[in-house]
Amino acid sequence: MQLTQPKFQSFTAVAPSNIALLKYWGKRDAKTQWPANDSISMTLSKCKTITTATPSSANFDTFIFDGQSITSETHPDHKIFRHIDRVRKACGSSGYITASSKNTFPSDCGIASSASGFAALTLASVAAFLKTPKWDELSTQGFNRERLAHLARMGSGSAARSLWGGFVKWSAGASATEQQIEQIWPAEHWELADVIVVLSSEPKSMKSSDAHHAAWASPLYTPRLAALPERLSRINRALAEQSFESLGLEIEQEALDMHAVCMTGSPQIQYLTKASLDFLVWLRTERRFGRLPAWATIDAGPNIHLICLKQDCDTVAKAVQRSGFDCSVIVDQIGRGPSIAEGSGELWND
């Protein structure tokens, strides 16, 4: 007698990375992923994670990243499997999945791979557990976009903001349960670009989850938190008025403020390398002489995101390429948010 193979339907989520203009840095509570401050990000377009989740007949989950496979049997405490388990429980499922994932950009070096990674994993696994890729059907089953964002946030905080395109705000609220995540402007509002200067694609020196904890010991951290509400309103105003100079000034100060906290926390964390600092000196000189219409922001890594108007991104990218720095350049721009579809990731091999 021939056994019929069960047919498993695959679901693929494509989730963009996002670059924080106002950084999420420090948690009031790690267990509930309650951030110490509000953050604002711009969703990217080309830097994304593509994850395919397929229900499995095994009694464990499997995660494949760039062809390398691990399972929840061999790595039960891995944050990927803790997240799949969280999603499974939220969906009321008892099944297991195989999730296969790849990034269109280097991982773990300050291009927010955990943001797109956990957003894509959340969406693909919810679709696989609930067996639908349709946003309206997910919403009917209790998973509207904000609920999905909260679920993604539990995997990695910044992932919550990758659930929308354009400019997204994650508000900390007065308690962990009062957090809110919402789009504040769609991508069409203001066509900004992000010219990413990859000075190193080595994994960062310390995972951001550990670095969030180290921030509290910095003498600069309490003053930072006290000053952030005003910075938030200045960034909001710059976005509303599309005032590029004002936005640029704020985001560059904000990134340096976060890195000052990193360097003075316990343990001290040095994400900025000599190359990052040399590059910043070059950028500021070029800008002062009117040759480079771009402002820097830097996440937890040495690489520099040059935020500029979309119309200037080629000029900025060419200037970087001619600068003599040993780097590669990714030219990205504001994007429209994630998508989910039935089928495997081969469909998105662009």
Name the residues that contact ligand DP6, by CB under 6 A. 20, 23-24, 33, 39, 112, 114, 156-158, 208-209, 212, 299-300
The contacts of residue 286 (CB under 8 Å, 6+ apart) are 292, 319
Output the smallest distance, CB 331 to ligand DP6, in A: 20
Helical H segments across the chain, by residue range: 79-91, 113-130, 135-140, 145-155, 208-214, 221-241, 244-264, 274-288, 313-322
20 vs 109, beta carbon nearer ligand DP6:
20
312 vs 332, beta carbon nearer ligand DP6:
332
Output the smallest distance, CB 330 to ligand DP6, in A: 16
Closest CA to 200 of 270, 260, 110, 115: 110
130 vs 169, beta carbon nearer ligand DP6:
169
Output the smallest distance, CB 160 to ligand DP6, in A: 8
114 vs 179, beta carbon nearer ligand DP6:
114
93 vs 209, beta carbon nearer ligand DP6:
209
100 vs 156, beta carbon nearer ligand DP6:
156
CB 93 within 8 A of CB 131: no
Structural tokens at position 34 = 């309650």
Angle, in degrees to the nearest 10, between helices 145-155 and 113-130? 120
Through-space distance between the first and last CA atoms of the chain, rounded to whole angstroms = 43
Question: Position 264: which residue type?
Answer: T
Output the smallest distance, CB 144 to ligand DP6, in A: 22
- Cβ burial of 194 (10 Å; 0-12, 13-18, 19+) is buried
20 vs 50, beta carbon nearer ligand DP6:
20
Output the smallest distance, CB 146 to ligand DP6, in A: 17
122 vs 158, beta carbon nearer ligand DP6:
158
CA-to-CA dists, residue 221 to 20, 85, 265, 350, angstroms: 18, 34, 8, 42
Output the smallest distance, CB 350 to ligand DP6, in A: 25
Structural tokens at position 181 = 């995540």
Structural tokens at position 18 = 């996002």
CB 193 within 8 A of CB 332: yes
CB 254 within 8 A of CB 22: yes
Output the smallest distance, CB 289 to ligand DP6, in A: 30
Output the smallest distance, CB 207 to ligand DP6, in A: 7
